[in-house]
């Protein structure tokens, strides 16, 4: 039998699965707490994918068979987005068509700009982003359609609009006029142009493009999973992406780079690091930008982003921040490296974004400008073999059935 070839854990899961399917679960021979329990679903495989994989012990990140370093060296954000979405590198004409599609869909209407202006500064920029994407969904003609083609069209449209929305949020926060997308520019050039009102150097544009490419997909992380859970109900792509944005906002996920930079800047200089970080560790604080659920070695993305932070801060007032970060890394590796705690991608990305000219409140929205492709690609892939997500929780509450006591007698 095929089951004989499976490992103990896999056979156990198979048996449990069969028992559930047949509706045979009965506390007398299968107590609920015997079902495999994994806090935070750590290690649980809940879907199959051809999009990418992470080797957390060797420090590899692969998109559709290509190592991330080779994509950073040779590819662009648009080309990598095509690869993630369609499974292979495009030909020249396929890439031109895809890029044109993105450009055609990159504008947002006046009402959306108005909403962004009205809510600017009321709460975190990620809340503005969540609201803007959700708002666009309310006037999409496809919003209620659940067929694959409509979901794909919605996904491409959101990818295309993401830089426009995030740049608009930046300008609204700073009380500046909005700048509409320029169809002669690439995805990243347009994002920079709409954000700053001018074109940045080739070097800065290339670095930001690579950073967007590096963050585009990363397994079934919290925001990707949140988005997949929503799409698995056959809800629409706008709702799924809004869920992804909501999850990315949290400081344990996308919000870490903003906090990491604030922490590095508040420490101020390399010589203050041992005392400041030592104190934080004593009080069991998590050091933002360190540790990862999957990587137990140096995050390969962090290695690359560190070189960008180095390049961008040379000869600038941010150099001291970079040097302080280097000292924090050395100190943390000495203290926690043996536990598999190393810098993650968020540790140096804040310094690089700041050196480009973005303020910390924009860091997580920039992450979304990149990760949008991973969300859409994984949502679409999941739809091709959809099964609604429905894990269970282990009940550890009262075991006795109680009699109801009327409120006046409690
Ligand atoms: N600072 C200090 N100690 C840490 C850190 C940290 N950043 N991360 C983990 N540890 C400690 C844990 O407390 C644990 O200690 P213990 O053995 O005494 O209990 C030990 O190291 C092992 O931790 P893990 O179980 O490997 O961590 P887990 O997988 O639960 O958490 C997480 C991963 C949430 C990313 C965590 O490392 C963290 O909170 N980091 C800071 C936030 C951050 O940088 N998030 C960005 C992640 S990357 C991304 O989302 C793009």
Rounded-to-integer distance, Cα 103 and Cα 99, Å: 6
State the pLDDT at residue 187: 98
Lowest mean pLDDT among 4-13, 206-215, 230-239: 4-13
Whether the CB-CB separation of 264 and 387 falls below 8 Å is answered with no
Secondary structure letter of residue 34 according to DSSP = G
| Ligand 1 in reach of 54 Cβ (< 6 A) | no
The pLDDT-based confidence of 225 (bands split at 50, 70, 90) is very high
With a 6 A CB cut-off, is 329 part of the ligand 1 pocket?
no
Q: CA 217 to CA 10: how far, in whole Å?
A: 27
Q: Is residue 16's pLDDT more than 50?
A: no
Q: Locate the ligand 1 atom nearest the alpha carbon of residue 291 and give its number.
A: 37
Per-residue pLDDT, 84:
98
Measured CA to CA, the distance from residue 131 to residue 141 in angstroms comes to 18
Does ligand 1 lie within 6 Å of residue 252's CB atom?
Answer: yes
Ligand 1 centroid to residue 366 C-alpha, Å:
23
How far, in Å, from the CA of 314 to the mean position of ligand 1? Answer: 30
In the residue annotation, 346 being an active-site residue is answered as: yes
- 292 in active site: yes
* Residue located via tokens 């496809």: 142
pLDDT at 357 over 50: yes
As a whole number, mean pLDDT of residues 209-221 equals 96
The upper half-sphere exposure of residue 66, i.e. CA atoms within 13 Å in the direction of its Cβ, equals: 21
Mean pLDDT along residues 245-250 = 96
Q: Are 77-252 and 256-356 equal in CATH topology?
A: no
CATH topology of domain 256-356: Cytochrome p450-Terp; domain 2 (1.10.230)
CA angle 72, 77, 78 (to 5 degrees): 140
> pLDDT category, 35, cuts 50, 70, 90?
low
Distance, in Å, from the CA atom of 241 to the CA atom of 109, rounded to the nearest integer, reads 19
Q: Specify whether the CB–CB gap between 375 and 240 falls below 8 A.
A: yes
Q: In what side-by-side order are the strands of the sheet with 52-55? A: 52-55, 60-63, 66-67
pLDDT at 27: 40
The answer on pLDDT for 190 being more than 60 is yes
Q: Which atom of ligand 1 is nearest to the CA of 218?
A: 51
Percent of the chain clearing pLDDT 90 (strictly above): 85
The rounded percent of the chain whose pLDDT value lies above 70 is 91
Q: Beta partners for 55?
A: 60
Residues 293-333 have pLDDT tens digits of 889 999 999 999 999 999 999 999 999 999 999 999 999 99
How far apart are alpha carbons 180 and 194 in whole angstroms? 7
The CATH T-level fold of domain 77-252 is Citrate Synthase; domain 1 (1.10.580)
Q: Are 360 and 208 in contact (CB under 8 A)?
A: no
d(CA 247, CA 243): 6
Provide the mean pLDDT of the chain. Answer: 91
Q: Is the CB of 253 under 6 A from ligand 1?
A: yes
* CA–CA dist 234, 92 (Å, integer): 34
CA 130 – ligand 1 centroid, Å: 26
If DSSP states are collapsed to H, E and C, what string results for 321-376? HHHHHHHHHHHHHHHHHHHCCCECHHHHHHHHHHHHCCCHHHHHHHHHHHHHHHHH
- Residue of the nearest CA to atom 31 in ligand 1? 293
Give the integer Cα–Cα distance in Å for 390 and 403. Answer: 31
Q: Is 60 exceeded by the pLDDT of residue 350?
A: yes
| Lowest mean pLDDT segment, chosen from 10-14, 176-180, 302-306 | 10-14
Q: What is the pLDDT of residue 36?
A: 79
Catalytic, out of 209, 236, 346, 379: 346
Across the strands, what pairs with 62? 53, 67
Catalytic one of 218, 292, 310, 379: 292
Q: List phi, psi (to 5°) of 224.
A: -65, -45
Tokens representing 233 are 């109900």
The pLDDT of residue 43 is: 86
Query: How far apart are the C-alpha atoms of 360 and 350, rounded to whole Å?
Result: 7
pLDDT at 30: 44
Q: Distance from the CA of 61 to the center of ligand 1, in angstroms?
A: 19
- SS3 readout for 98-143: HHHHHHHCCCCCHHHHHHHHHHCCCCCHHHHHHHHHHHHHHCCCCC
**Residue 146: which pLDDT band, with cuts at 50, 70 and 90?**
confident
**SS3 call for 152:** helix
CB 344 within 8 A of CB 256: yes
Q: Does 113 score more than 90 pLDDT?
A: yes
Q: Where are the domains of the chain?
A: 77-252, 256-356
44-99 confidence digits (pLDDT tens): 999 999 999 999 999 999 999 999 999 999 999 999 999 999 999 999 999 999 99
Stretch (H or E) spanning 300: helix 300-313
**Higher per-residue confidence, 384 vs 8:** 384
Cα separations (Å) of 32 from 27, 38, 291, 307, 395?
Answer: 7, 13, 32, 50, 7
For the Cβ of 287 lying below 6 angstroms from any atom of ligand 1, the answer is yes
pLDDT at 20 over 60: no
- Write the CB contacts of 358 (distance below 8 Å, at least 6 apart in sequence): 170, 195, 366
CB of 39 sitting under 6 A from ligand 1: no
**Nearest of 377, 370, 372 to residue 212 by alpha carbon:** 370
Work out the average pLDDT over 181-190. 97
256-267 vs 273-282: helix crossing angle, rounded to 10: 130
Rounded (10°) angle between helices 237-248 and 363-383: 140
Q: Is the CB of 335 under 6 A from ligand 1?
A: no
- What is the per-residue pLDDT for 145? 86
């Amino acid at each position: 039998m095929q089951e004989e070839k499976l490992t103990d854990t896999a056979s156990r899961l198979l048996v449990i699965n069969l028992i559930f399917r047949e509706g045979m679960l009965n506390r007398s021979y299968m107590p609920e707490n015997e079902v495999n329990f994994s806090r935070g679903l750590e290690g649980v495989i809940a879907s199959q994918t051809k999009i990418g994989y992470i080797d957390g012990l060797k420090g590899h990140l692969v998109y559709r068979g290509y190592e991330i370093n080779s994509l950073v060296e040779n590819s662009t954000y648009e080309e990598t987005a095509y690869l993630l979405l369609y499974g292979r590198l495009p030909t020249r004409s396929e890439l031109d068509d895809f890029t044109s599609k993105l450009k055609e869909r990159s504008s947002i209407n006046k009402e959306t700009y108005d909403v962004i202006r009205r809510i600017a500064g009321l709460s975190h920029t990620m809340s503005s982003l969540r609201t803007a994407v959700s708002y666009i969904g309310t006037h999409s003609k496809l919003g209620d359609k659940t067929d694959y083609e409509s979901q794909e069209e919605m996904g491409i449209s959101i990818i295309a609009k993401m830089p426009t929305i995030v740049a608009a949020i930046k300008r609204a926060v700073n009380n500046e006029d909005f700048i509409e997308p320029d169809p002669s520019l690439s995805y990243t050039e347009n994002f920079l142009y709409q954000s700053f009102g001018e074109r940045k150097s080739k070097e800065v544009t290339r670095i930001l493009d690579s950073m967007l490419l590096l963050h585009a997909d990363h397994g079934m992380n919290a925001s990707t999973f949140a988005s997949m859970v929503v799409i698995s109900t056959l809800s629409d792509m706008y709702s799924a992406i809004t869920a992804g944005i909501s999850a990315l906002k949290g400081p344990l996920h996308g919000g870490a780079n903003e906090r990491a930079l604030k922490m590095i800047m508040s420490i101020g200089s390399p010589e203050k690091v041992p005392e400041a970080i030592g104190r934080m560790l004593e009080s069991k604080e998590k050091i933002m930008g360190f540790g990862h659920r999957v990587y137990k070695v140096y995050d390969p993305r962090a290695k690359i982003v560190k070189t960008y932070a180095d390049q961008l801060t040379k000869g600038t007032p941010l150099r001291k921040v970079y040097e302080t970060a280097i000292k924090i890394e050395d100190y943390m590796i000495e203290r926690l490296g043996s536990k598999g705690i190393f810098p993650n991608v968020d540790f140096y990305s804040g310094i690089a974004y700041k050196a480009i000219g973005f303020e910390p409140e924009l860091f997580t929205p920039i992450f979304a400008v990149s990760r949008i492709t991973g969300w859409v690609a994984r949502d679409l892939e999941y739809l091709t073999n959809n099964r609604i997500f429905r894990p269970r929780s282990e009940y550890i509450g009262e075991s006795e059935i109680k009699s109801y006591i009327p409120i006046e007698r409690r």
